[in-house]
Amino acid sequence: MEKILVVHAASEGTYGSPRICQSLRAAGIPVGQKRIARLMRAHGIRARAAKLYHPNPGTHAFFLGIPNRAQNHLPTAPDQVWVGDITYLRLGEGWLYLAVVMDRYSRRLVGWSFGLHKDAALTRRALDHAVARRHPPAGLIFHTDRGIEYAAYEFRTRLAALGIVQSMNRRGRPTDNAHMESFFHSMKSDVIHGRRFEHRVELEGVVRRYIAFYNRRRLHSSLDYRSPLAYERDAA
C-alpha cells in the first residue's frame, strides 16, 4: 500500500490501478492489477476524474519538434552532453522535489535544486547551479524527458540564452534517460528507503552528502570502477 500511495501521489492523483500496476512492475515489483485495485478500494484511493481536454496544436508541434539529439551523440569529454530529471522524496506528510543535472560522460552530478513544487523554476535552478559550477561551452546538449518542467517557456528561454541545445526523449520511450533513472534508484536504495524525514533540512542534508559521495567515491562499473571525479581527472 505504501508503494501504491507513492505512485498515486507522484501522478498528482491521476493514476488508477492499471497505471499504478504498470509503474510498479517497471520498478521491478511483481504485482497484479486486481490486487492493486482491491487495496485501493479498501483504503479509499482512486484516480481523480479527468478534466476536459482541449488539444493545443502549438504544444504538440513543439514537443514533436525536439528530437532526441543525445541518442547517437557519444560524449568524448565532459560538458558535451548533460541529462536532467526530477524525482520526489517523502517529507512528513508531503513531498520534496529534487531536480538534478548530470554530465553523461562521467556520470558526475553537476547541478541540483530542491523545492516544494514540481515546476520550471525548480528545473531552472538546477540548470543555473550546473552552469555556475561548470561554465559549459555553447553547443552543449541538454537531454531530459518531455515533462512540462523542461518544456516551459522560462526553461527553454534560459537554454537558448546559454547557447545550450535542447534534447528530449522520444515519444513513448522513457528509457532514453536511463542514466538519471539509475542515479535516482541508487540514491533512494542507499539512503532514502526505510527512513522517515520530518524536516526539510535533514532530508536535504542526506541528499547533499550522498551526492558528494556519489561524485567523489562511489565506484561505477561503466567507468571501469572509478568514481565520476576520478574518471574526469584520469581523462584530463
Task: Identify the CA nearest to 70 among candidates 96, 92, 114, 102.
Answer: 102
Say if 59 falls within a structural domain: no
Q: What is the pLDDT of residues 4-63, one digit of tens each?
A: 888 888 777 778 888 899 889 888 889 999 999 999 888 888 876 544 444 445 444 555
Distance between the two ends of the chain, CA-based, in angstroms? Answer: 48
Q: Is the pLDDT of residue 174 over 50?
A: yes
Beta-bridge partners for 100: 85, 112
Q: What is the pLDDT of residues 112-126, one digit of tens each?
A: 999 999 999 999 999
Say if 67 falls within a structural domain: no
28 and 141 inside one domain: no
27 and 80 inside one domain: no
Say if 193 falls within a structural domain: yes
Say if 121 falls within a structural domain: yes
Which structural domain range is residue 12 located in?
A: 2-42
- The answer to whether 210 and 191 are in contact (CB under 8 A) is yes
Transcribe 114-167 into DSSP letters.
EESS-SHHHHHHHHHHHHHHH-PPTT-EEEE-S-HHHHSHHHHHHHHHHTPEEE
148 and 90 inside one domain: yes
228 and 131 inside one domain: yes
What pLDDT score was predicted for residue 48?
67
Say if 225 falls within a structural domain: yes
Provide φ and ψ at 211, rounded to 5°: -60, -45
Residues in the chain: 236
Number of domains in the chain: 2
Q: What CATH number does residue 76 fall under? A: 3.30.420.10
